Structure 1
Amino acid sequence: MLPSKLKNIWLIVLILFVATSVSAQSIVALQQGRRTSIRGLSVLNDKVAWVSGSGGHIGITTDGGNNWTWQQVKGFEKADFRDIEAFSDKEAVIISSGSPAYILKTTDGGINWSVKYEKADTVYFLDAMDFENPRHGFVLGDPINGKFLLLETQDGGNSWAQVNDAPAAQKNEAAFAASGTCLRVADKRITIVTGGGDSHVITSPINKLNWSYNKLPLTNGAASKGAFSIAYGKKQAIVVGGDYVRNKATDSVAYIFASKHDFKKGAFPSSGPAGYQSGVEFIKDGIFVSTGTSGTNITLDGGKTWRKIGDDSYNVCRIAKNGSLILLAGDGGKVSLITLDKI
């Protein structure tokens, strides 16, 4: 048995080690100063990532974010590209929110873009996009006549068809085009989180649409409030949101579901993110990162407790589909890197 004095020394060493480990995360600015608000972010691997934003701007990196190639898509200089899905350094699909609503695709690294979907009617507003695989994907839009707009592609975004069995929407309910992550297509399921009126998790198997609706106890009841993003971990699912008008308010901005696809039982964190969060991303094990205009937060225990790691405003956070590169993006063309080396 160790003497009590030696025990105390080891306890101090352990506390210092843990404190060093959990405080090792840092946010490093890679790109800023562009006149665009970035909300679309697709990270393929540790080298290749694409961003999309307002003013028709698109950015591409092939060296992990150190250098970026920028363009304004010709003829779309006023478009607000709220989400992007990239398949390589040459091929990507973007959606434009607002009116007209567009879906564009490039196969030559952004040199040329072709229109794959177009709706001039002002009721069409595209919010988010996600793909099950490089061929099969969905685009979510705000409700029309009581149903969410849901578009589907089976050919990598070359053609799009409206899904007839789209989920129903309650009065004033909508999805937020804030980070492209109010829609997730994973684990053979499609999942949507909503706000505006009541907040819900809406989910269905992909191969046979049969929607279930579960109410979320997040801040809701107004156009600026609700659930903005969902991410699946290995065991749990985490939803974040809040009120983007009162972005420093910390009440009801995150919710944890202990089972990935059982949205009937959940809990609030004992210590949540510090304010409104527009995006959340699963990193590994029990680690998630969330971000928003109030700053960036991290949890190491599956969402039970969160700690702020940055005060700067961002809109979206994504990790590489094949790799460990974690990027943040936001207003002013800002793109940053999150390092989690010591975790």
Structure 2
Amino acid sequence: MISMGKTRRMVSAGLCAAALAAALAVPAQAQAAPAPAPAQQRPGWSLKDTGADVRMRGLAAVSRSTAWVAGSKGTVLRTSDGGRRWLNVSPPGAGELELRDIEAFDNRRAVVLAIGEGEASRVFRTEDGGANWTESFRNTDPKAFYDCITFFDSRHGLAMSDPVDGTFRILSTGDGGKSWRVLPSAGMPAALPGEAGFAASGQCLVSAGSKDVWLATGGGATARVLHSADRGLNWTAVESTIPAGDPARGVFALAFRDRDHGIAVGGDYRGDQASPRAVAVSRDGGRSWRQAKTPPPAYRSGVAWLPHSRSAALAVGPSGTDLTVDGGRTWRTVDTGSYDTVDCTPDFGCWASGEKGRVARLEF
């Protein structure tokens, strides 16, 4: 039986999510009467001074107070006070590496992925807030290029590489990233010619629950979403509605709020190219996808469901942030700042990060 205290907390969280989505969705001039509310009183991104100038494509939100970001020049930053102060906790000797994905379990434990060909692809982990790091994986196959990592819980996780010998390669860990092994490729469908993942936001490989995981692709004739229900051993591939057919186009990021409801975002990352169908939505665990009725106006590289909401989500990209309040069918631009990725926590700790050290938290 659910206690009355827990019930009140659940109702309060639901009402807060609904109010947040409604406030973001209403045009600024319509949010207050008779006079508009000051901009700082409306929900929106609040930039935090990180002191860095590198691009932060890796983001792990732990709570409203704690977040980790990872980026170029081997940079890892951590805050424990809501973004007022940032500690540079970069792995020693990683200055030449591109850190594109980070998964954090609390303010002390995190796993970060470096991308690139051959030995440039590595995994580091820390158990003391970044004071010390251990390199737990270094790729030795020159044909592999790792893009993203995800964790089902604090022990079990996967990392994915672009196709090697015709199939995407999957790494698995069962000890929190201390050790990794390559999974058999027998259950992985053949890759399309030119197909690959995009290391743009740390969201080309995502999980929901204890066993379900999805992989986003582009570059091939079609942009596909691959799904595994057994932690990466067996996969099925389905075409999305997001255009591909070019190395710069496809699905860049995924978000599933449960094992059924997912959103895919992407397009063409080149700023001079249009992305008219940048969002696709699934209600059956990725077995089928439908095009958004009113998608964002441009390429989007990151996406996250708002906490405690069944229908509200944010999508981000270099040209802005878009909100949906109907599960991904229609979207409206609510901010024009540049961000690459976004992540939210149950206590309404929504964070975004991107170029030139930009990190922001959603303020209410």
TM-score, structure 2 normalization? 0.83
Correspondence for 1:10: none
- Using the TM superposition, give the Cα deviation of residue 112 of structure 1 relative to its aligned residue in structure 2, in angstroms: 1.4
Q: 2:159 aligns with which of 139, 142, 158?
A: 139
C-alpha distance after superposition, 1:120-175 (max 9, x if no partner): 44322111111000000001111110111110000000000001136231110001
Give the whole-Å Cα distance in 2 for the aligned partners of 1:155 and 1:16. Answer: 47
Correspondence for 1:150: 170
Structure 2: 5+ residue stretches without partners? 1-25, 33-38
Give 1:146's aligned amino acid: G
Distance 1:202 1:16, change over 3 A: closer
Correspondence for 1:225: 249
Correspondence for 1:238: 263
- Using the TM superposition, give the Cα deviation of residue 246 of structure 1 relative to its aligned residue in structure 2, in angstroms: 3.5
Are the counterparts in 2 of residues 42 and 85 from structure 1 also a CA contact under 8 Å? yes
Relative to structure 2, which stretch is displaced further, 247-256 or 111-120?
A: 247-256
Correspondence for 2:314: 289
Give 1:69's aligned amino acid: L
Q: Percent identity?
A: 32
Instruction: Say whether residues 1:58 and 2:83 are aligned partners.
Output: no
Correspondence for 1:331: 355
Instruction: Say whether residues 1:171 and 2:193 are aligned partners.
Output: yes
What does residue range 112-261 of structure 1 map to in structure 2 within 5 Å?
112-165=132-185, 167=188, 168-187=190-209, 188-197=211-220, 198-206=222-230, 209-233=233-257, 236-246=261-271, 249-257=274-282, 259-261=283-285
Give 2:84's aligned amino acid: N
- Using the TM superposition, give the Cα deviation of residue 35 of structure 1 relative to its aligned residue in structure 2, in angstroms: 2.7
Relative to structure 2, which stretch is displaced further, 57-66 or 226-235?
A: 226-235
Give 2:287's aligned amino acid: F
Q: Secondary structure at the match of 1:98?
A: strand
Number of aligned residue pairs: 322
Are the counterparts in 1 of residues 294 and 330 from structure 2 also a CA contact under 8 Å? yes
- Which of the pair is proportionally richer in strand? 1
Instruction: Say whether residues 1:304 and 2:296 are aligned partners.
Output: no
- Using the TM superposition, give the Cα deviation of residue 208 of structure 1 relative to its aligned residue in structure 2, in angstroms: 7.5
Are the counterparts in 1 of residues 268 and 275 from structure 2 also a CA contact under 8 Å? no
Give 1:84's aligned amino acid: I
Give the whole-Å Cα distance in 2 for the aligned partners of 1:144 and 1:210. Answer: 17
Distance 1:145 1:16, change over 3 A: closer
Give the whole-Å Cα distance in 2 for the aligned partners of 1:17 and 1:26. Answer: 11
Structure 1: 5+ residue stretches without partners? 1-14
